[in-house]
């Protein structure tokens, strides 16, 4: 009878431990999912900012090339705002705390299958690559915007938000700066490189695929 009682107690302890482990595993997977969802939101936002800034710098350099632009001052200012915002990206927040915790503790492989582990590592490698690419993005345009207006470019979404005096300061700065055209061309070249566009899309696709896998694991 004592043997059966001990065996029963051990089985109960094992069952409770398994329940705790499963609950903790589910919590960790949900944390990974939350990080991924926040990360992909920023990825899509920054990809769209990149596309907007790339198109804006193309139009601005064309304005300089043709000397007399047919576009309105508002359109020119709005494009300059979009170009200036490229130096301030939210994606410096990597949303990788849970992943790093699991990777550094050696628990990642115990929590997910091998294919999911490899996919997670690959996804965060994409994120690190995007971060390093942004570190090499020319900063001259956003610096000149800040110098002309006293405003951090990331705080301005639309030229319509700017006071008339500030808008004129930007236009005067564009007209008097002998190298602003070169600055815009350099920025446009960086924003147009294929690897940046490709890595953004690969990271977004990877995030969506990973979310599906983790949701299945979370059950």
Does the pTM surpass 0.85? The reply is no
213 has pLDDT over 60: yes
Q: What percent of the chain has pLDDT over 70?
A: 84
Range of 145's domain? Answer: 2-218
Q: What is the pLDDT of residues 47-90, one digit of tens each?
A: 888 899 999 999 999 988 876 678 899 999 999 999 998 855 54
What confidence score (pLDDT) does residue 118 get? 93
- Total domains present in the chain: 1
Quick check: 82 and 187 in contact, CB under 8 A? no
What confidence score (pLDDT) does residue 20 get? 39
């Amino acid at each position: 009878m004592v043997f059966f009682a001990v065996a029963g107690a051990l089985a109960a302890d094992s069952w409770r431990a398994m329940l705790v482990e499963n609950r903790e595993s589910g919590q960790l997977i949900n944390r990974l999912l939350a990080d991924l969802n926040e990360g992909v939101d920023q990825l899509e936002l920054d990809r769209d900012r990149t596309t907007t800034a790339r198109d804006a710098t193309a139009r601005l350099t064309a304005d300089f090339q043709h000397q007399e632009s047919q576009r309105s001052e508002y359109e020119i200012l709005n494009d300059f705002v979009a170009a200036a915002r490229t130096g301030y990206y939210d994606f410096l927040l990597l949303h990788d705390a849970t992943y790093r915790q699991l990777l550094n503790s050696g628990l990642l492989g115990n929590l997910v299958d091998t294919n999911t582990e490899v996919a997670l590592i690959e996804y965060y490698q994409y994120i690190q690559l995007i971060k390093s690419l942004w570190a090499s993005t020319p900063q001259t345009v956003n610096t000149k915007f800040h110098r002309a207006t006293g405003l951090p470019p990331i705080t301005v979404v639309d030229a319509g938000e700017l006071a008339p005096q500030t808008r004129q300061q930007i236009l005067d700065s564009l007209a008097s700066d002998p190298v602003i055209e070169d600055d815009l061309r350099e920025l446009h070249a960086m924003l147009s490189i294929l690897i940046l566009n490709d890595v953004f899309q690969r990271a977004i696709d990877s995030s969506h695929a990973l979310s599906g896998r983790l949701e299945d694991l979370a059950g």
